[in-house]
Amino acid sequence: MRIFRPRRMRPVRLPARGSLRRGIYLVPTLFTVANMGCGFAATLAALHDRFWLAGWLIVFAAVCDGLDGRIARLTNATSEFGKEYDSLADVVSFGMAPALLAYQWSLRSLGRWGWFVAFVFLVAGTVRLARFNIRVHMTDRRFFIGLPIPAGAGAITVLCLVNPEPVLTRPWSLAVWGYVLGVSLLMVSTIPYRSFKTVNLRQRWPASAFFAVALAIALPVLLQEVALAVLIGVYLLAGPTEALWRWASGRPINLKLEGEAAEVGLVTPEATSDADRP
């Protein structure tokens, strides 16, 4: 009687450590690409006068922009490439898209003055990004210098979400013109805005980190347009209000990091390494 031997199972080959590491680095980049894709789609929607859709696409771009940096820090996958690529995506989603949206929605009735202030917004946003990239390791990470470009784009976008119908009357177009100019000046100003980057989910709430990521994805769906406008308006005014209050109380914010800054907890080696993304 012939006895058959059981066939030997082939060993399962695990992916090489280098390829696994490359896959981890790819995850935040995919969110950056999604950010850029939403910005591109918002630009096309604005060109076809679909202002409500364009506004929500910019909001989803902001969600992806927040997630790519957070996921990069959670997975320790930050890199110089990610920082630069993220900035290029932000130019599309939070510079070009909201500028074109504001122009198509209200500013085109003002002629050359309309496209002028839309271009000023785009230039202010790119200046804001460039300044952030060169000062990211020289300033207190608890604050942004000037209004962040996603918040500036949100300040423009909420107007179209609250009132998707195009603004055709000249007085209201002039009001939007002044509003866009004011937001542009806030982006290039030196007014400190809270960044909330020092909240480390991985150390303080490791079990809740991915729940917070899921909540960030669902947040724009849960919030109505008016509630979203209120949140952005509060953040828009929070920077100048806190700066004036600190100036009046004689306690101004020192954004520059001195040699002893690390000793007082303003920056740590870990915080410096994962400050790659705006």
Q: Which residues pair with 194 in a beta bridge?
A: 143
> CA–CA separation, 54 vs 218, rounded Å?
18
In the CATH hierarchy, which fold is given to the domain comprising 22-273?
Four Helix Bundle (Hemerythrin (Met), subunit A) (1.20.120)
Q: How far is CA 26 from CA 20, 76, 92, 227, in A?
A: 10, 12, 20, 34
**Quick check: helix, strand or coil at residue 176?**
helix
> CA–CA separation, 18 vs 228, rounded Å?
42
pLDDT tens per residue, range 93-137: 999 999 999 999 999 989 899 999 999 999 999 999 988 888 766
Residue with tokens 């909001």: 59
Residue extents of the structural domains in the chain: 22-273
What is the DSSP code (8-state) at residue 263? G
Strand blocks (E) in 140-258:
143-145, 192-194
0.85 exceeded by the pTM? Answer: no
> Residues 241-260: what's their mean pLDDT?
69
CB atoms within 10 A of CB 217: 13
Q: How far is CA 136 from CA 89, 146, 183, 225, 233, in A?
A: 18, 13, 22, 32, 25
pLDDT tens per residue, range 192-219: 888 766 555 555 555 555 566 566 556 6
> CA–CA separation, 26 vs 29, rounded Å?
5
Percentage of residues in the chain having pLDDT higher than 90: 37
> CA–CA separation, 146 vs 101, rounded Å?
22
- On the question of pLDDT at 51 being above 90, the answer is yes
- On the question of pLDDT at 251 being above 60, the answer is yes
